Structure 1
Amino acid sequence: MSDPEQGLGDVQRAHWQQIYGEHPGMYGEEPSDPAIHAAAVFGAAGARKVLELGAGHGRDALYFARRGLSVWAADFSPAGLEQLRVAAAAQGLAGQVTTAVHDVRQPLPIANASVDAVFAHMLLCMALSTQEIHALVTEVRRVLRPGGAFVYTVRHTGDAHYRAGTGHGDDIWEHGGFAVHFFPRDLVDALARGWILDEVAAFEEGDLPRKLWRVTQTVPQ
């Protein structure tokens, strides 16, 4: 990673830490629609252990736990994860949720084939280079068991904020202080090589609205 990329990633980490600190529970308590879909996929596959990347303050992690799943929730914001721990304790779910401060630019501190499913809502489209995204998906593949499912969502190049704001190269654009890597379809296909690509579903979220893909891919048995 070049120095400018390293700098942007560190700035974004500090930005999210500040945002979570100033706006506790900013996304509310209800799970995201992608998490509801993912829980159904994971349940159908018999998953019991789920890794969520970019868990934030935990609305989706808590939903998975309420569905009876054991959740390992990772985020690079200690402030967000502290809110998740407090909420998990209040809901009687502390025994089902483990949190870890982790920057996905680094290898996942999890053993090979040790989780049944992985979920990441708009984590892959943060201020990560294409090379870092590929490295992260390789790590996801490593920690998933055979037959394990990976459900992720990303904003794509059809989004209204694509090419708006400050450009950082590599399809990364910063708008309102948030840097986003907008995905072209060929990047989704490249990340699915060696996997079973089950679904690429377009959906919208928020007031803009943001335009996203929900991707489901599975490790071959």
Structure 2
Amino acid sequence: MDWRLAGAFHLGKNRSWQESGHITGSDPGFLTIGYGDDYSFQAFDFDVGKHVKVQAADIRFFGGLRLVHSDEHGTASEGFSPDNPGADKGGAVDKVGSSEYWGIGPRAGVEAYYPLGETWGLTGSASGAVMWGRRTDRAGVNYNFTNPDNHGSVTLFSESANQTVTSLDASAGLSWTPLAGATFTAGYKIEQWHNLLINADHSSQTFHGPFLRLEVKM
């Protein structure tokens, strides 16, 4: 039997755009509108595992807990710069929204290591988790006007609700152990999360790409 602590961090930017142009009329000037959003989430795992030998392969079955935290932000902005700032009113208004989630729950999986020599080997893993937690959504408006100067912010709403998040992941890679107790692994990983991010096209999001991991055994 053994135990393990692990953490993973994800940063991303979904969409961002901005348009501007000159408008004419009684109050001519430049009008700018834009939108941007981003997200980040972190997962922290603790598990206890049991190793089983199958010929040369080492298979580890494990179970434990996963703690997850996600944070999303989105901003829709509109600004106006008059051609004559001394006589005409200008300013900017930002509509800001955010969503934050904390959850914890059981996680179980299996991983395997097949040696290719004394220091090299192939590794693969698969796991799933169910987390129960609470999401908090907020929305507000920030404004900054000129002529006369006026700035401030208004909270439109803030609400919380219980939510369940699930995750599945699988990975495969090549491991190198240059020193006893220290292993470097490079490979490819795919993750699917359900209900983790709300500012998305679907309720399930899939992330995949290369990874690099350092494992130290105490």
**TM-score of the two chains, using structure 1 as the length reference:** 0.22
Computing the radius of gyration from Cα coordinates, the structure with the larger value is 2
Q: Relative to total residues, which structure has the larger helix share, 1 or 2?
A: 1
Compare the two structures and name the one with the higher strand fraction. 2
